Structure 1
């Protein structure tokens, strides 16, 4: 028989104590506050960047990895950006710095 303690994960938020089952934790969305940044290249073109925090990018639930080709859809009515992985046989080359 499974131990109840193995099935529940305690989470503290301030002074509050919440319990989630491990199954519920697998379904929780990843969340982080990010900022949109604008950079102007030496060529004069401007680019916008959204940096994904390392804690989110390295989480096992994060669906993307370096080099994945992504499709970006902007829904202006809901003010959302949606990223989906493009199923392509070719991989995008990643520059090494």
Structure 2
């Protein structure tokens, strides 16, 4: 699977136990805080937490533009099992 396909799966299969908000980092190193999102097979629509410097509240990205995803809420390892993650965090 390509990196683009992995990011697509991450958003399409977002677990219900995790709020649909966080921070996306793009391949251009832009940090995009979001408070919600919608998906298609090829595109990701993010609702920004706050408008950007130009006043934009929404941004559409190709999945291939996503470099990282940061979660802002406290989570447990079992929140991620639905995405295929296995193992434990050390204590």
In the superposition, the TM-score normalised over structure 2's length comes to 0.21
Larger radius of gyration: 1
In the superposition, the TM-score normalised over structure 1's length comes to 0.20
Q: Higher relative contact order at CA 8 Å, sep ≥6: structure 1 or structure 2?
A: 2
